[in-house]
Amino acid sequence: MPSRRNCGRRYAERVVLRDNGVLELDPTQVKYARSRARKAGRPVVNLAKRHTTVSVERATLRLAGLSGADHENVPWVNHLLDSVRAQVGLEHGVTTPVWDALIRGEAPDLLTLAQKAAGGAATFRQPEGKAATTARKQARFAVARGIRTIDAQRKTRDKLIARHGDPTQKPWIYLIVATGDIYEDIPQAQAAAREGADIIAVIRSTGQSLLDFVPEGATREGYAGTYATQENFRLMRAALDETSKELGRYIRLTNYASGLCMPEIATLAGLERLDMMLNDSMYGILFRDINPIRTFVDQRFSRQIHARAGIIINTGEDNYLTTADAVEAAHTVTVSQLLNEYFAKEAGLADWQLGLGHAFEIDPSIPDSFRLELAHALLARQLFPDAPLKWMPPTKHMTGDIFRGYLLDGFFNLAGAMTGQGILLVGMMTEAVVTPWISDRDLALQNVRYVLNAAGGLTEDFHPPRDGFIQTRARQVLADSIDLLDSIVGDSTTSDPPLLAAIADGTFGAMKRPATKGKGLDGVVRKAAAYDNPAIDLLETGETR
């Protein structure tokens, strides 16, 4: 199947494939699968366009420059938005009543207005006529400054990559740091980069995805991870910039744009020049029980920010295989990848920004388990030839036997090398035992370096036999994916998106999540006809003012 080339992008190096692909998939089937993913996804996009959320509106205020928190660490954006919502609602957006209040002299600036609102001393209204036009104009002017900051940060990244260079070998090596203390994370991240990591992921503190506010400042008390805050982003990015200069290659930084504050965290990532963000369209629904409508509205805005910022997203299909069998549920991963691709491109992301996820999670005791893993990995690689696929290591079947685990990670690394994955997360032999020590990470990086040095060129040589085990398995997974997409779309004539019904039925990850339930539903608001959000206008038009 001839593939498209996305010229002039950072992820420009292509995986070597024969003209019709090593799996020799039927291009008509591939095209049909994408068309069904579009049909399943389009009603969800239309639903998202008709709604806003408290986090989308708070993210817009952050773009206008509002930051900081009160003495109890409640952000000013939360105080301001809650006050506006209580007085006039959010159906028309938060910015018009806020800038109307500033124009009327309720406060001299945005921060003071938020502080007054927190004390119940600010009055808001929904202006009309000339007053509304003036307020919208002033709001757009303020929000546009934040958009231009994101644009400037993207240009800075491009300059630094040109100056320091990119890693010379694919896949990029992705390593997690997570102590809970940003000041401990920094030296560990720098040490990991010196040992060969190309991407540092600061895993987020357990439970942050369920907070409906973004903590403020540098944090030192995260549990099993470090809080995602603007200051933590700034500190780690500055430290990795120093290390990039030292090593002569640009070190990328990753965090998590998910949960109830997905749009806000995406915005902070753009403002502080993060390079990758975990951002899956269904992860929060399935694994954090966040309301589906809230999630789809938030993820569309967050992906528009990522598109503007030049951030690569990482999706979470690997998580399905921790709750469902990796052989029986392989097709659900492919379906989710196709849906994630549709949602991402609709929001403006390009192929080089699609770090679609999948994982090495088949039970190793199954005969031919490695051949099955190769079939699944090759299928993803061929379906998305221009995407920097994110390949995840074994976790579900790690037993605590570190020697067996180290061997499994070696097989995982070999599969990544043979199938041309774009982003390879470093597996730890102490998975399921302890939080890895620095020495564990060093041994894991040695494993990756050995395999990539010894077998990194196997992508060029590896061509499974025509109609053999690997080709047959990959084609079967694709056929099962099409069947599932057909069943999701069906012949429904209702106005409700059929994908929401499929999620409610437990189609993905064996998790049943109805659209009428879940955390954060009370933060979803249906837009009025006169709704205005200058951030969305600027992101969709590409304008800067």
CA 217 to chain centre: 23
With b for 16 or more beta-carbon neighbours within 10 A and e for fewer, the 157-185 pattern comes to beebbeebebbebbbbbbbbbbbbebeeb
User: Under DSSP, is residue 1 helix (H, G, I), strand (E, B) or coil?
Assistant: coil
Cα(467)–Cα(469) distance, integer angstroms: 7
Among the residues of 165-203, which ranges form H helices?
182-194
R_g of the chain computed on alpha carbons: 23
**Contacts of 186 by beta carbon, 8 Å cutoff, 6+ apart:** 235, 236, 239
Closest to 270 in 3D by CA, of 298, 222, 245, 303: 303
**Contacts of 501 by beta carbon, 8 Å cutoff, 6+ apart:** 488
Tokens of 358: 């999948």
Closest to 65 in 3D by CA, of 152, 147, 157: 147
**Contacts of 337 by beta carbon, 8 Å cutoff, 6+ apart:** 315, 317, 356, 357, 358, 380, 383, 384
Cα(152)–Cα(150) distance, integer angstroms: 5
Closest to 178 in 3D by CA, of 192, 196, 194: 192
How far, CA to CA in Å, does 469 sit from each of 26, 492, 493? 17, 36, 40
End-to-end alpha carbon distance in the chain: 42
Active site residues: 283, 318, 390
Cis peptide before 292 (omega within 30 of 0): no
Q: Which residue matches tokens 């041309």?
A: 420
